[in-house]
Structure 1
Amino acid sequence: MAPNTGIASAGGRSLDPAMLHTGKWWKHSYIVKLNLLLVIPLITSYANGFDGSMMNGLQSVERWKAYFHYPKEEDLGLFNAIQSIGAFCAIPIAPYVSDGLGRRNGIAVGAFIVLIGAILQTATQNLGMFVGSRFLIGFGTTFAQMASPLLISEIAYPTHRAPLTSLYNTLWFSGSIVAAWTTFGTFRINSDWSWRIPSALQGLSSVIQLIFVWFLPESPRWLINRGRDEEAKAILARYHADGDASHPLIAFEYNEIKEAIALEAEAARVSWLDLFRTPGNRRRMRIILGIGVFSQWSGNGLISYYLGKLLDGIGITSSNDQTLVNGILAIYNFIIAISASMTVEKVGRRPLFVISTAGMLVSYAIIAAMSATYEKTQNSAAGRALLAFVFVFNGFYAIAYTPLLVSYTIEILPFLIRAKGLAAMNFSVMGAIIFNQYTNPIAYSALKWKYYLVYTIWLMFELVYVWLWATETKGRSLEETAALFDGEDAVAELSNRTGQDMTQVKHTGSDSQDEKLNIEHSHREVA
């Protein structure tokens, strides 16, 4: 967890380090209890990561393929895309559930829907039932994904908020690891349970959440927004000050929440057109929509969801070998993602984007060459080289597009359009995912190794794109970052206008609000 340091606010007032706990956090039982409880919303990301890796593994399980009569490419596209389609359909509804019913109820609603989907998926009798159950899983996951990070950010101890929200994103890979190794173990079962067991385990996290979510405290921010101020203060006191309601930290946090809610009322009057109204905002959206699409159209979707087909193409056809590779790749991705997230502030955003995209380009070019060589000569060395560069490609992808997709979007968006800008990024990501999941199996079947060339050429475009427009934000405050896009005069004018409109707000309290918005619209982290 983060050290015992102050948290600066953009409005000029800081959280005094003297307000915080003394000594190691794990020596304070109230903080330990809170962090243990926050495991419940954290496992929402685990559930999402489970899905992609499970579908990758099932395509290598002979009993699964036989049960569905060896699905054609268009069927595989539907199997994978339908979960994303379900998630996409829930995006407009989910915020109203978490805002209207509360964060805990939002998690419970999502967990319940996912559990029903997992039960139907496990009991599948035909193609239609399998597709429908996966739609439900995607639909329910969105509700839990909307509410879980909100609750984490709004109840976490101040110095733990950033690492816990970062942990939420990286736990996508924990679900991927469990799913990959589950299919590696169950494919040996000589019955339909070889694929029904992984399907059932997809609902395990939902069972845990439905049992324990009621022990979680409700979001103080949601309670205050509902006029239940005393309940909110009691929760803050219990988990942030060991029950001491008079502690100065509680007054600080309470006032900060009240002022953040006032800011949101102002932001609610911003229209979607404001995302593109000014030259600075158009430059922002050019970057945001670009990296959103690139996060899915860099060739990673072909590897993430159709690894079995890729391995078939280089002669690795046994279920044992394919599921083993899937399991090792999941652990590798997890390690790279965690390591990369620790270097973001040290290396900078622009270098990571450029290095990541250039590395993916070179890796994919080699993958294309090795695939063509193997297809024409059946040279086993070419097949092994291709597999090695699948790992290299994933490593380069993870160093930028895993840690920066959401955080970089936040950094370059001003407060008043931040929520809508994040939503636009999410829609671009989900749209790209759905398109890819339909087209990848069909295109790969038709083009074979030549399909890798399509992504190689596209990655050239991506490299030029990020080289021209990825703007460095390292070491800058939000106001300084805004000046990079709008100019100093525009930033000063906006600050003056906002100050006149909101004279009742003494300070913005923007750090806590920034962290909240940083994850408010987060979807599954894509491996």
Structure 2
Amino acid sequence: MADVTKATAVQMDGGAKQRMAAAMQKEELKNISQEAQRATEAEQQLGLRESFKLYPHAIGWSIFLSTCVIMEGFDITLLGNLFAYPPFQKRFGVLQPDGTYQLTAAWQAGLTNGNQAGQIIGLYANGIIAERLGYRWSLIGALALTTGVIFIIFFSQTLVQLLIGEILIGIPWGAFQTLTVTYASEVCPTHLRAYLTTYVNLCWVIGQFLSMGVLRAMLQRDDDWGYRIPFALQWMWPVPLVVGIFFAPESPWWLVRKGRLDQAKRSVLRLTKRDAFPDFNADENVSMMVHTNELEKAISAGTRYQDCFKGVDRRRTEIVCLTWAAQHLSGSTMMAFSTYFYQQAGMAVDDSFSMSLGQYAIGGVGTVCSWFLMGWFGRRTLYLTGQVAMFVLLLTIGFAASAGRENEAAQWAIGSLLLVYALTYNCTVGPICYSLVSELSSTRLKTKSVVLARNTYNILGMVGNVMTTRMLNPSAWNWGARAGFFWAGTCGLCAIWSYFRLPEPKGRTYAELDILFEQRVSARKFKTTAVKPHDDSNDGPSDEEVAEMDGKKP
């Protein structure tokens, strides 16, 4: 009898311990939920001006890391515009019947697509490496690799050697494309996310402008150093970036996903300036990240590539991939080959480089304008309106090309329309894409979602590069500016997709977006649907479940 009584007591003690543990878990989750709710309300009430005052360090670090994209924009634009650069054409091109030199369309596509292939490899690898090592060390490793590969490009004597260098340098570029926009979206609050993520597009434009300026300055040279000097200038970026990134704070969201909550709190403290807001609570801010992470785990527990195509995340993956793909499908490839495009439309070499230089300057102005337009119209409206406007401009370019290359007025009209197109693109689709992709993916799958989206862009870019070089090259299809008709068609299809499938994330926290996707809210109703992401009733086991653990009913 004593043994039975003792066993019963042990069972009762075990049941009591189980109930106590469950109750403590429920209480802990309830506290986290309440802290998360307070942090969410405080963040939403900050406003834009207050967000700038509280997060100046986050803004500074995000801007610094985005400098990696300036370097990449410089390199990519350099290659595309060298196709129109006389010393490069003479060194690597084929003599034409008119006495000029041209790279064949096959090699133009091969060099650009080799670079794109390297980026695809680098992106997929980075999606795994960054999740394991963090954003800082992944970027530092990519910059170190870039420094070594530049030697291959600089000393290339043949197109094959140059192709190998372009493939290899594309691998670290994959890290820059992913981590800069992901870092910006994770270290900044809701009201700053759109500005810091679209700033990445401005970095692209700055890099393109610098590259074009260097080439324009080299036009007077007729030797190999005319293109070797621009290649050598690529070495000026990696070392200072490595030093700065080493001292940068890690993304607190990544640290939360790794369960390193103390480090996440220290990172939040480094990213904020609490003197301006003494009431700011770093613990509550981390609790918001923890609660959002747990919410996403409940919706979709995985963090692998295949999890991007399961359940709710399948829709999110479709949206971010096609949002980034629309950059190419809207005709932006014509801007990438703008100098070559202008020359094939009939402009002189000096004029073509000057027009491209003006194009990138206008692109920078457009990106700054997008920051104001986003505040007035939101992401979805601006993105869709831009696509419709570019559709009209591309059609007009195609019709203007019908006047023939001998019509000088028509060629300058085409050049002017392409500048207007560049302004429209960089006010809308160009920068807004970065904001949409970073905000509409879940935080647990953000890096991999951005990788898939960017690789969709790169794959389409490879197809677009092959087609565009053949459209413009006089030894191939020789369409010239009539290529505007083709890109107008794809741009129109993108506008139709955006109307039905693209949601509006403006002013939403990540937890709110998770709920909206989980409830399968229509894209056109995202802006108006009310949600409560930190509802206490959703946290932990109920009182009935706690009682049932001991075989009782309340």
Normalised by the length of structure 1, the TM-score is 0.78
CA-CA distance at 1:129 after TM superposition: 1.6
**Stretch moving more, 347-356 or 49-58:** 347-356
Q: 2:173 corresponds to which residue?
A: 141
Which residue, 520, 540, 545 being the options, matches 1:503? 540
| 1:10–1:55 distance in 2 versus 1, CA, 3 Å | farther
Q: Distance in 1 between matches of 2:536 and 2:75?
A: 44
In the alignment, structure 1 residue 334 sits paired with structure 2 residue 364: yes
Q: Distance in 2 between matches of 1:259 and 1:242?
A: 23
CA-CA distance at 1:312 after TM superposition: 1.8
CA-CA distance at 1:426 after TM superposition: 2.8
| 1:417–1:111 distance in 2 versus 1, CA, 3 Å | closer
CA-CA distance at 1:106 after TM superposition: 0.7
Query: Which structure has the larger Rg?
Result: 2
CA-CA distance at 1:432 after TM superposition: 0.8
Q: 2:236 corresponds to which residue?
A: 204
Q: 2:346 corresponds to which residue?
A: 315
Q: 2:402 corresponds to which residue?
A: 372
Which residue, 35, 40, 46 being the options, matches 1:14? 40
> What amino acid is aligned across from residue 443 of structure 1 in structure 2?
M
User: Does the CA-based 8 Å contact 2:384-2:495 persist in structure 1?
Assistant: yes
| 1:465–1:103 distance in 2 versus 1, CA, 3 Å | closer
Deviation per CA, 1:94-140: give whole Å up to 9, x if none: 02222222322111111111222222211212112211111122111
Counterparts in 2 of 1:22-61, with a 5 A limit?
36-61=60-85
Q: Distance in 1 between matches of 2:265 and 2:503?
A: 41
In the alignment, structure 1 residue 386 sits paired with structure 2 residue 414: yes
Q: Distance in 2 between matches of 1:161 and 1:412?
A: 12
Q: Distance in 1 between matches of 2:141 and 2:306?
A: 32
Q: 2:86 corresponds to which residue?
A: 62
Counterparts in 2 of 1:447-486, with a 5 A limit?
447-449=478-480, 450-467=482-499, 478=513, 479=515, 482-484=520-522
Deviation per CA, 1:172-191: give whole Å up to 9, x if none: 11111111111111232232
Q: Distance in 2 between matches of 1:359 and 1:288?
A: 22
Q: Partner of 1:315: helix, strand, or coil?
A: coil
User: Does the CA-based 8 Å contact 1:241-1:250 persist in structure 2?
Assistant: no
What's the RMSD between the two structures over aligned residues? Answer: 4.3
User: Does the CA-based 8 Å contact 2:380-2:502 persist in structure 1?
Assistant: yes
CA-CA distance at 1:145 after TM superposition: 3.5
| 1:46–1:271 distance in 2 versus 1, CA, 3 Å | closer
User: Does the CA-based 8 Å contact 1:353-1:470 persist in structure 2?
Assistant: no
Q: Distance in 2 between matches of 1:394 and 1:330?
A: 8
Q: 1:436 corresponds to which residue?
A: 464
Q: Distance in 2 between matches of 1:283 and 1:354?
A: 19
Q: 1:513 corresponds to which residue?
A: none
Sequence identity, in percent? Answer: 17
Deviation per CA, 1:122-167: give whole Å up to 9, x if none: 1212112211111122111112343344444555588755543332
Deviation per CA, 1:3-33: give whole Å up to 9, x if none: xxxxx99957535479999x999999xx766
Q: 2:163 corresponds to which residue?
A: 131
**Stretch moving more, 265-274 or 98-107:** 265-274
User: Does the CA-based 8 Å contact 1:98-1:146 persist in structure 2?
Assistant: no
| 1:398–1:179 distance in 2 versus 1, CA, 3 Å | same
| 1:495–1:212 distance in 2 versus 1, CA, 3 Å | closer
Deviation per CA, 1:305-361: give whole Å up to 9, x if none: x2233212232132x222222211111011112212321242244543443223222
Q: 1:343 corresponds to which residue?
A: 373
Q: Distance in 1 between matches of 2:194 and 2:135?
A: 19
Q: Distance in 1 between matches of 2:530 and 2:45?
A: 32
Q: Partner of 2:329: helix, strand, or coil?
A: coil
Which residue, 299, 302, 305 being the options, matches 1:269? 302
> What amino acid is aligned across from residue 325 of structure 2 in structure 1?
V
Q: Partner of 1:55: helix, strand, or coil?
A: helix
In the alignment, structure 1 residue 360 sits paired with structure 2 residue 393: no
**Stretch moving more, 401-410 or 177-186:** 401-410
CA-CA distance at 1:198 after TM superposition: 1.4
In the alignment, structure 1 residue 184 sits paired with structure 2 residue 202: no
| 1:249–1:18 distance in 2 versus 1, CA, 3 Å | farther
Q: Distance in 2 between matches of 1:11 and 1:454?
A: 50
Counterparts in 2 of 1:278-289, with a 5 A limit?
288-289=320-321
| 1:343–1:67 distance in 2 versus 1, CA, 3 Å | same
Gaps of 5+ in 2: 1-33, 94-101, 542-554
Q: Distance in 2 between matches of 1:144 and 1:166?
A: 15
Deviation per CA, 1:246-271: give whole Å up to 9, x if none: 98522223333433443454434388
Q: Partner of 1:218: helix, strand, or coil?
A: coil
| 1:486–1:423 distance in 2 versus 1, CA, 3 Å | farther
Q: Partner of 2:220: helix, strand, or coil?
A: coil
Q: Distance in 1 between matches of 2:495 and 2:279?
A: 51
Q: Distance in 2 between matches of 1:472 and 1:39?
A: 25
CA-CA distance at 1:171 after TM superposition: 1.5
> What amino acid is aligned across from residue 341 of structure 1 in structure 2?
W
* Count of residue pairs the alignment pairs up: 487
> What amino acid is aligned across from residue 163 of structure 2 in structure 1?
V
Q: Distance in 1 between matches of 2:119 and 2:413?
A: 36
Q: Partner of 1:316: helix, strand, or coil?
A: coil
Q: Partner of 1:64: helix, strand, or coil?
A: helix
| 1:194–1:229 distance in 2 versus 1, CA, 3 Å | same
CA-CA distance at 1:290 after TM superposition: 4.2
CA-CA distance at 1:429 after TM superposition: 1.4
Q: Distance in 1 between matches of 2:339 and 2:388?
A: 26
CA-CA distance at 1:424 after TM superposition: 4.2
User: Does the CA-based 8 Å contact 1:313-1:371 persist in structure 2?
Assistant: no
CA-CA distance at 1:203 after TM superposition: 3.3
Q: Distance in 2 between matches of 1:37 and 1:92?
A: 25
User: Does the CA-based 8 Å contact 1:19-1:249 persist in structure 2?
Assistant: no
Q: Distance in 1 between matches of 2:330 and 2:362?
A: 19
Q: Distance in 2 between matches of 1:379 and 1:18?
A: 56
Normalised by the length of structure 2, the TM-score is 0.74
Q: Distance in 1 between matches of 2:303 and 2:457?
A: 23
User: Does the CA-based 8 Å contact 1:108-1:144 persist in structure 2?
Assistant: no
Deviation per CA, 1:179-224: give whole Å up to 9, x if none: 1111111232232121112112233221221233222233444445
Q: Distance in 2 between matches of 1:470 and 1:15?
A: 26
> What amino acid is aligned across from residue 311 of structure 1 in structure 2?
Y
Which residue, 123, 127, 130 being the options, matches 1:95? 127
Q: 1:408 corresponds to which residue?
A: 436
> What amino acid is aligned across from residue 71 of structure 2 in structure 1?
A
Gaps of 5+ in 1: 1-7, 505-527
Q: Partner of 1:395: helix, strand, or coil?
A: helix
CA-CA distance at 1:448 after TM superposition: 1.6
Q: Distance in 2 between matches of 1:92 and 1:99?
A: 12
Q: Distance in 1 between matches of 2:297 and 2:90?
A: 55
| 1:292–1:220 distance in 2 versus 1, CA, 3 Å | closer
User: Does the CA-based 8 Å contact 2:36-2:291 persist in structure 1?
Assistant: no
Q: 1:175 corresponds to which residue?
A: 207
